Amino acid sequence: MFKLSKKVQALPPYLFLEIDKAKRRARAEGRDIIDLGVGDPDQPTPKFIIDSLSQAALDPANHRYALDQGMPVLRNAIGDWYKRRFNVDLSPDTEILPLIGSKEGIAHFPLAFLNPGDITLVPDPCYPPYKGGTILAGGRPYLLPLIAQNDFLPDLKKIPLSVRRKAKIIFVNYPNNPTSACANDDFYTGLIEFATKNKMIVISDLAYSEMAYEDFKPRSLLEFPGAKDVVIEFHSLSKTYNMTGWRIGWACGNTQLIAALAKVKSNIDSGNFSAIQLAGVTALQGPQDYLKSMCALYQQRRDVLVSGLNSLGWSAIKPKATFYVWIKIPPQADALSFAAHLLKEANIVATPGVGFGQYGEGYIRMALTVPIERIKEALERIKKIS
Ligand SMILES: Cc1ncc(COP(=O)(O)O)c(C=O)c1O
């Protein structure tokens, strides 16, 4: 009876909902599903953070509307964390904006700068809100293929001049979901040069910077000269502190970009629950040693899964960072039917690469979010159907 707006009609289906439905159906049939689909940590939030929330929730001062721009104590803690981790100086007043999860900020940001028909440069495959946020703001995503031959980095030289002129924003995400690729310094330097020359905003999505292995330390794009002129970086407590459900992240970087996002958000939400903001401060300032054990856990799982799959003749890339394994499927198969086959024959949920965009065809993604015994069980099941 009611007609959806053209923008909403143009949105691609949200991949994880489709997968969730298929998984729920399978579970309802009583099947023992091993879910390597959704990238949600299986470990609990560290206790000292939960304790901090419990205490803060009891204080009536925290029950009222929060400040739109976030509590100063949180912005200071974020600034200190960036300084400690990346040696980047940020002004807590003008260069940091807390978010209700980084997804919220990423999806809202294009509203601040796009006019109808404007282009954003979007890596493909990618985290879906880059496309969704662009479309909801009336823009058009121009796809930058992330392919193995180019180490899953976009080839900026290949972007036609006519597209560069209309493009207002370029999205990058390293360590990358879903390919697990990482950026090198040359790419970041070239990206800032490219964006500066073409007067383009760079959105850097750094959600996975703390989930890295073998002493690899992913860098912030804001560490690079000239970055503050063009970059807004999005970060999150979700994956670093197992806090996906809490909804807390932030944007930081260029002052004008931060102010514009704050203006959009002041018309949409009223900030995070103050008790969650205070728990966020505790997370950022508290003991960080548990991070080492979290990475060690994912690393163990990674080694078992990747070597297991490859010994069965599969072609899985060993990630240096993120908890995703990007797996090439046989050339005759397509990603959707391959994932459906795994669910039907082995009760394993994997995410078809094509759900992240057309250049994800030919791949599936598995997340390292189940215990090692379940990964071993998944390998046994795959062996049986191979
Ligand atoms: C690349 C990427 N960016 C951002 C997010 C969103 O994180 P948040 O929980 O902060 O919204 C995710 C979540 O899966 C992600 O994969």
Structure tokens at 54: 């419990």
Query: What is the spatial distance between Cα 234 and Cα 220, in angstroms, rounded to a whole number?
Result: 10
pLDDT at 374 over 80: yes
357 Cβ inside 6 Å of ligand 1: no
Could you tell me if 129 and 107 are in contact, meaning their C-beta atoms sit under 8 angstroms apart? Answer: yes
pLDDT at 359 over 70: yes
For 109-116, what is the mean pLDDT?
97
173 Cβ inside 6 Å of ligand 1: yes
Give the residue from 112, 133, 101, 129 showing the smallest Cα distance to 234: 101
pTM, 2 dp: 0.96
Query: Which residue minimizes the CA distance to atom 6 of ligand 1?
Result: 103
Q: Is 159 helix (H, G, I), strand (E, B) or coil?
A: coil
pLDDT at 168 over 90: yes
103 Cβ inside 6 Å of ligand 1: yes
Which secondary structure element, helix H or strand E, spans residue 42, and what is its range? Answer: none
Query: What is the spatial distance between Cα 151 and Cα 147, in angstroms, rounded to a whole number?
Result: 6
Lowest mean pLDDT among 110-124, 269-283, 334-348: 334-348
Ligand 1 center to 133 CA (angstroms): 14
pLDDT at 19 over 80: no
CA distance readout (Å), 188 to 89, 96, 98, 221, 222: 18, 21, 25, 7, 10
Name every residue whose Cβ is closer than 8 Å to that of residue 306 and which is 6 or more positions away in sequence.
Answer: 316, 317, 318, 325
In which band, very low, low, confident or very high, does the pLDDT at 16 lie, cut at 50, 70 and 90? Answer: low
The residue whose CB lies within 8 Å of the most ligand 1 atoms, and thus the one to mutate among 126, 237, 238, is 238
Query: Which residue minimizes the CA distance to atom 14 of ligand 1?
Result: 39
pLDDT at 124 over 80: yes
Ligand 1 center to 103 CA (angstroms): 6
What is residue 14's predicted lDDT score, i.e. its pLDDT? 67
What is residue 167's predicted lDDT score, i.e. its pLDDT? 98
What is residue 342's predicted lDDT score, i.e. its pLDDT? 94
Give the tens place of pLDDT for each residue, 294-312. Answer: 999 999 999 999 999 999 9
In which band, very low, low, confident or very high, does the pLDDT at 170 lie, cut at 50, 70 and 90? Answer: very high
249 Cβ inside 6 Å of ligand 1: yes
What is residue 139's predicted lDDT score, i.e. its pLDDT? 97
What is residue 275's predicted lDDT score, i.e. its pLDDT? 98
What is residue 144's predicted lDDT score, i.e. its pLDDT? 98
Ligand 1 center to 315 CA (angstroms): 26
Query: What is the spatial distance between Cα 83 and Cα 385, in angstroms, rounded to a whole number?
Result: 50
pLDDT at 21 over 90: no
What is residue 38's predicted lDDT score, i.e. its pLDDT? 82
Name every residue whose Cβ is closer than 8 Å to that of residue 267 and which is 6 or more positions away in sequence.
Answer: none
171 Cβ inside 6 Å of ligand 1: no
238 Cβ inside 6 Å of ligand 1: yes
Ligand 1 center to 231 CA (angstroms): 18
244 Cβ inside 6 Å of ligand 1: yes
For 164-182, what is the mean pLDDT?
97
Phi, psi of 328 (to 5 degrees): -80, 135
pLDDT at 15 over 70: no
Give the tens place of pLDDT for each residue, 55-97. Answer: 999 999 999 999 779 999 999 999 999 999 999 999 999 999 9
Mean pLDDT of the chain: 95
Which ligand 1 atom is at minimum distance from the Cα of 39? 14
pLDDT at 332 over 90: no
Q: pLDDT > 90: what percent of the chain?
A: 91
Query: What is the spatial distance between Cα 236 and Cα 242, in angstroms, rounded to a whole number?
Result: 10
Please, is 283 exposed, middle or buried when counting C-beta atoms within 10 Å of its C-beta (0-12, 13-18, 19+)?
buried
204 Cβ inside 6 Å of ligand 1: no
